[in-house]
Amino acid sequence: MPLLKPAPRHSVSVSRTVARKPGSGGSEPRPWLGIAAAILRALGLQVAAFGLVFGAVAAASRLPALPPGLMPVAPLPFASWPFASLSGRERAALALTVLPHAALALLVLAARRRPGKPLGFASPALPRRAVLLLLLWPPLQVAGTAGLLLLTGQIPTRTWRLSPLLTGGVLWTWILWLVVLAPLAEEMLFRGDLFGRLRRHLAPAATVAVSAAVFALCHAENGLLQPVSVLPLGVALGAMRLWSGSLWPCIALHAASNGAVVLARVWSTV
């Protein structure tokens, strides 16, 4: 049995749109155009999501402050700025970290020409290998990231220490972003929209490889270490998409992997 053979029960959700078998004689004459268009679409949605949030944050920073007389003497809880302990610059940095993923999820839904066509939110098949991957991958992700840090001369327990700003509500917002919002939005894009479009032109293994490479590329904003560390995760998530035929296990695996990293960073800080 091929290692990346799609789930027989739900593979129709991924490959139903394949008019011709990839690589067969009847395939479209220029499949690379479709592959390039799918990749550029994914990158464009990422840039558009950040651009929307950046524009909103920049516009909000230019709003004039309310005169003191217009505020109540005892402001209601909802009348004050969220995260009042942060400076304006720190609040902007938090917004630019968290909100692009919310915008990305909305853009992925809005950009689909046929809204009734599912992204992959189907009832999953869970073969034993998918369950094992879900259970074993999170500690492997932490161990692999620690190994990369050691190879670059960094001590993981020092590098993973949380910023002093990550306390209280800011810490919980950061955790919810990493464990809930980021896995949901990124799986909708990479193992949902992008994966389905690539699958029209590529075999299963190639689809997993290309979607994982684009996934890693979109994590390169802080240098090369992070994309190298998430590239194996992208391959694991692509395999999970094939094996289960659904996005739900991919979201769960992504959330568990990020959650394991969060636990390692919290443990390194206390």
Q: Does a structural domain hold residue 4?
A: no
More confident residue, 95 or 29: 95
Q: Does a structural domain hold residue 105?
A: no
Q: Give the distance, in angstroms, between the CA of residue 270 and the centroid of all CA atoms in the same chain.
A: 27
In percent, the amount of the chain with pLDDT more than 90 equals 67
Q: Which pTM does this prediction carry?
A: 0.84
Q: Does a structural domain hold residue 240?
A: yes
206: exposed, middle or buried (C-beta count within 10 Å: 0-12, 13-18, 19+)?
middle
Tokens 């950061």 map to which residue? 174
Give the model's pLDDT for residue 15.
41
Q: pLDDT tens across 4-33, in order? A: 666 654 443 444 444 445 544 445 568 899
Q: In 214-225, which positions are buried (b, 16+ CB within 10 angstroms) versus exposed (e)?
A: bbbbbbeeeeeb
Q: Does a structural domain hold residue 101?
A: no
Q: Does a structural domain hold residue 89?
A: no
Give the model's pLDDT for residue 19.
42
Mean pLDDT of all residues belonging to the chain: 85
* Average pLDDT over every residue of 232-238: 98
Residues counted in the chain: 270
* Average pLDDT over every residue of 130-143: 96
Residues 6+ apart with CB under 8 A from 186: 101, 104, 215, 254
Distance CA 49, CA 104 (A): 5
Q: pLDDT tens across 57-85, in order? A: 999 877 665 555 544 444 444 444 567 77
Q: pLDDT tens across 43-58, in order? A: 999 999 999 999 999 9
Domain that holds residue 208: 126-269
* Average pLDDT over every residue of 122-137: 95
Q: Does a structural domain hold residue 265?
A: yes
Look up residue 51 and give its two tokens. Answer: 């651009």
Q: Rounded to whole angstroms, what are the CA distances from 94 to 83, 100, 165, 262?
A: 10, 10, 10, 17
* Average pLDDT over every residue of 101-126: 86
Q: Poorest-confidence range of 141-145, 167-171, 177-181, 229-233?
A: 167-171
Look up residue 222 and give its two tokens. Answer: 């802080």
Q: Does a structural domain hold residue 221?
A: yes
Number of independent structural domains in the chain: 1
Contact 133, 143 (CB under 8 A): no
pLDDT band with cut points at 50, 70 and 90 for residue 88: confident
Q: Does a structural domain hold residue 195?
A: yes
